[in-house]
Structures are given as C-alpha cells and as structure tokens.
C-alpha cells in the first residue's frame, strides 16, 4: 500500500486530560507531590490515595487511587467540543502478562533535577494531546539501567515492562519537577542508553451521537450465510457488558489494561463487539467469531502506554484481526507496534476519525499497513463529520445503526462502528479461506470496493464502499 502522508491529528479534548496545541507544551505546576504519587500509584502513596485519593469524587479526580474520566457517550456533533479545564490525569499503568521486571521502587525522597544536562537537539514542540508530566522511552538494558537513567535525568520510574511488539523494555518516566515534555525528550535523546523517546499521547474513541442495521445489504453480504466461525479478533476499546444477550458465547478472553480505573461506561466496546460478532436479534457481521477484548479506555480516553499494553496482549492471543476504533496523534511507538503486528500476519483495522473534513490525519489509521475506515449511511453518503485524507482506505456503513450497548441496545454513528463492520467482513473472508494473508486481503478489498465520489481512490471514500462478495470472489 502506498505510503500515507504524515499529518498530525488532534483528538477531541476531554476534561481529564490536558491538551496541547500543535506548537505548544503543556505542564501543570499546580500538582502536589501527593497528587503526583497518587497518579503514579506508588506504594508509598497507596494508603493515603485509598482514603481520599488526593481529591474529591467526580469526573477528572482520583478517588481511591483510581482516575475518574468523563462520560463516554458524547454528542460530538454538530457542536464543537468544549475547551477542557486543565486537570492532568493518567490512566493506571497496565499489568502486562509479558512483564519480565517489576517496576523500580519510587524514590525515597524528593528528586532534585541535575543541572547542566546535555540536549541532543533543541526542545521540540509536542503536537497532539499528551500526559503533561510523563514520557515513554524504550531502553536496551535491565531494571538497573532503567533506574540509572532516571537518576541521571531526575525522573521517576512509574512503570516498566517488556513489550513483545516493540521488542524491548518500555519505560514510563515521570517528570516531577515541571520540565516541559519536549525538553525532557531532548535530554533523553542525548543519553545513549535510550532507543526511542515519545510523549505519552492521548487517544480518543470515535463515536458520534446518533435504524435497523442495513450494513449486510450495503456491503453485499448475505446475513444467512455470514460467518466468522472461530476466527480470532482482538478489540481494543472500553469495558463491555458481557451479560448482554448479543455477546453470549462471543467473548473468548478479556484483558484489563487499566485495572485501577473503575469501569463506568460499557457502551462503546459492547457496540463494537456486537457489530462484529453479535448473536440473536442483534446479529453481527461475523457470527461465530471469537472476540478477545482488551479494555483500554474509560471516558472515551486512553494513553499510549495503556494502548501499547493492550496491543501486546492482543498479539499474544494469536488473533488474525485487531480492531482499533480510536484516534490520536502520530506516535512512533504505536507505528512500530502496528508495523510489527502486521509483520506477524495480523490484519489491522482502524477508524479514520470523526473530527471533520479539515482535521489532521488520525492515527493509528494513517499508518502504513492499517486499513483506515470511514463511515457511510444507508444511501452510501459520507458521514459529514468524517476525517478526510489520502490515508482513508475504505468506506463502510457507520451511520445510525442499531447495536448492542451497555444499556441493552442503541443507535450508533461513527467511524468506530464502520471499522467494526470491516473487521467482521474480513473475518468472513478468513473463515472462507483461512490461508489468505493480510496483504492479499488488503489488495482484494481495494480492488473490489464500489467506487464512490470522484473516480478512483479519493480522500473522502478511499477506494470506495466495501463489497465483501466481490472481495471473496477475488481469491478464486
């Protein structure tokens, strides 16, 4: 697939995370050391956080050591998102089954940042939404090397684990003294013990406010013949209502990448899983498929660190498809993880984004090797709020569809749900021909899509509307 242009995407702001303009740094000097400790979930602060969390209950505060994020179901359109009130928080560090080294203990006393640190390059302006007092770094070395870097640069080791998809140790360093993230990244770049250095970017689920599921007809799939039986699909999303009748027997495994954050909303993830493989009255596109669900979002938000943990877990489940119905800024760590997952034979499907025709590109959809899906309605019209750009690969139904939710069922709209339709359709292809490779599937989808809009591939519809019947025949 042709290389996609690199354009940064600013996700919808939320009250619990501090957003950063494309040319600005964001750091909040008002955080107390106790609040920092609570957010980083250090052992020393655990008892006090459990008592009062360092704040009052409600969205955007830590209570009982858990971070409360704003409501998930948000009416994104037609009104623009409200500007957030700065209140930096960070989802709890995931407990990865692949961890080989326990996180280093928290510092025993105040950290005094060293003076005279070298900079490998001028501090960069960090684009997109990110956690203002953290950076993600890959390190070649053991726990001792990780701690030595922290000591040298006056940082805190908030978590560390061995990442399968990155092939190295991923460390989440805290910045306790208020230095801008760009400055710390430049200081880390001058340290030869580090490999990659990135902000801990924030990503947002892609659901628009919203009748019968017309998707089967529009993508040329006979609902009576649809099957994804035993095809393994990973979904990275919110928590789910696994008691919903539409998900009975559908969920083969679950992983919570943010176990210290209480689950408050289950709608988005339940809808995505149901559209892919739901059973009963709300039958999905690929009945019989096995969903491996990783919870990595609350309040519609997650961080790069949490998402990478979920991706590593998904890679260990021997899945054929990974559905990523979320959008955020370009991040090299995420790009590497996606590239390596594709190299392992997984088909990656992602929402193109719901932020309008003038929005920057949305990631992970805009990475090479990821099928970026936009949303169309029952008449094959483009969802007005959809992102546009050369990275858009395929169109699929995603406007006003009935789907299971945390409250039973709901009418849903967004590129999130169009991505789910494509994931389910690909499961049908794999069920019919298990030997089809990710490259073969991608080429077949592009070659057989029903052209919409300007002739050929365009920035609105990509190659056009998914035609699963034609894609299946393309193998023959």
Q: How far apart are CA 365 and CA 414, in angstroms?
A: 14
* Among 427, 326, 415, 424, residue whose Cα is nearest residue 373: 415
Instruction: Kindly state the DSSP code that residue 16 receives in the 8-state scheme.
Output: T
CB environment 418-441: b (16+ within 10 A), e (fewer): bbbbbbbbbbbbbbeeeebebeeb
Q: How many CB atoms lie under 10 A from the CB of residue 52?
A: 14
> Taking the domain 205-473, which CATH number applies?
3.40.50.200
Quick one: which of 294, 292, 370, 293 has its CA closest to 328? 370
Cβ–Cβ under 8 Å, residues 189 and 153: no
339 CB-contact burial (10 Å; exposed 0-12 / middle 13-18 / buried 19+):
middle
Residues in CB range of 456: below 8 A, 6 or more apart: none
Token pair listed for 235: 């979904």
Written as tens digits, the pLDDT of the chain (476 aa) is: 444 433 333 333 333 333 333 333 333 444 444 444 444 443 333 444 443 333 333 333 333 333 333 333 222 223 333 334 444 444 444 444 443 444 444 444 566 667 677 787 778 788 889 999 999 999 988 899 999 999 999 999 999 999 999 999 999 999 999 999 999 999 999 998 999 999 999 999 887 665 447 899 999 999 889 999 999 999 999 999 999 999 999 999 999 999 999 999 999 999 999 999 999 989 999 999 999 999 999 999 999 999 999 999 999 999 999 999 999 999 999 999 999 999 999 999 999 999 999 999 999 999 999 999 999 999 999 999 999 999 999 999 999 999 999 878 899 999 999 999 999 999 999 999 999 999 999 999 999 999 999 999 999 999 999 999 999 998 65
**Domain spans of the chain, in order of start:** 205-473
Query: 3-class DSSP state for residue 290?
Result: strand
Please, are residues 237 and 272 in contact by the beta-carbon 8 Å criterion? yes
3's tokens: 């290389």
Rounded to 5 degrees, what angle do the CA atoms 173, 177, 178 make? 90
Lookup: tokens for 349: 């499907």
Structure tokens, 265: 């909303």
* pTM (predicted TM-score): 0.69
Q: Residue 13 corresponds to which tokens in the numbers above?
A: 């702001």
Number of H helices, E strands in the chain: 11, 17
Quote the CA–CA distance of 291 and 215 in Å, as a whole number. 20
Contact in structure between 104 and 42 (CB atoms under 8 Å): no
Query: How far are the Cα atoms of 45, 224, 309, 328 from residue 298, in angstroms, in the given order?
Result: 23, 35, 15, 15
Structural contact between residues 445 and 471, judged by C-beta atoms closer than 8 angstroms: yes
Q: How far is the C-alpha of 419 from the C-alpha of 322, rounded, in Å?
A: 10
């Amino acid at each position: 697939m042709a290389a996609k242009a690199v354009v940064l995407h600013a996700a919808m702001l939320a009250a619990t995370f501090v957003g950063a303009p494309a040319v600005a740094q964001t750091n909040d000097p008002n955080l107390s050391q106790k609040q920092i400790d609570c957010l980083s979930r250090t052992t020393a602060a655990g008892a006090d956080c459990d008592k009062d969390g360092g704040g009052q209950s409600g969205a955007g505060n830590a209570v009982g050591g858990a971070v409360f994020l704003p409501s998930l179901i948000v009416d994104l359109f037609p009104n623009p998102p409200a500007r957030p009130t700065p209140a930096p928080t960070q989802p709890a560090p995931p407990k990865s089954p692949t961890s080989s080294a326990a996180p280093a203990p928290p510092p025993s006393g105040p950290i005094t940042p060293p003076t005279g640190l070298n900079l490998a390059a001028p501090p960069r302006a960090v684009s997109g939404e990110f956690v203002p007092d953290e950076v993600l770094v890959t390190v070649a070395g053991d726990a001792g090397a990780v701690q030595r870097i922290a000591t040298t640069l006056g940082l805190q080791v908030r978590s560390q684990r061995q990442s399968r998809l990155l092939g190295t140790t991923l460390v989440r360093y805290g910045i306790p003294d208020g230095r801008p993230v760009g400055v710390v990244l430049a200081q880390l770049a001058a340290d030869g013990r580090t490999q990659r250095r990135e902000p801990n970017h924030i990503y947002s689920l892609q659901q628009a406010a919203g009748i019968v599921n017309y998707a089967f007809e529009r993508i040329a799939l006979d609902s009576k013949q649809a099957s994804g039986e035993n095809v393994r699909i990973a979904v990275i999303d919110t928590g789910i209502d696994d008691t919903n009748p539409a998900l009975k027997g559908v969920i083969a495994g679950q992983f919570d990448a943010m176990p210290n954050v209480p689950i408050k909303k289950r709608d988005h993830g339940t809808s995505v899983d149901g559209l892919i493989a739901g059973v009963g009255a709300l039958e999905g596109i690929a009945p019989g498929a096995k969903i491996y669900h990783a919870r990595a979002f609350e309040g519609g938000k997650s961080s790069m660190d949490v998402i990478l943990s979920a991706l590593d877990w998904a890679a260990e489940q021997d899945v054929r498809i990974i559905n990523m119905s979320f959008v955020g800024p370009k991040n090299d760590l995420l790009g590497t993880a996606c590239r390596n997952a594709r190299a392992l034979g997984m088909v990656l499907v992602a929402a193109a984004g719901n932020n309008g025709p003038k929005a920057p590109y949305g990631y992970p959809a805009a990475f090479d090797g990821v099928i970026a899906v936009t949303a169309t309605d029952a008449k094959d019209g483009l969802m007005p709020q959809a992102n546009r750009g050369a990275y858009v690969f395929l169109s699929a139904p995603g406007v006003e569809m009935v789907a299971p939710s945390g409250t039973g069922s709901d009418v849903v709209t967004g590129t999130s749900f169009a991505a789910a339709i494509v994931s389910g359709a690909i499961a049908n292809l794999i069920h019919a021909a298990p030997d089809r490779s990710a490259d073969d599937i991608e080429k077949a989808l592009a070659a057989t899509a029903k052209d919409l809009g300007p002739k050929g591939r365009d920035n609105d519809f990509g190659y056009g509307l998914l035609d699963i019947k034609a894609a299946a025949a393309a193998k023959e």
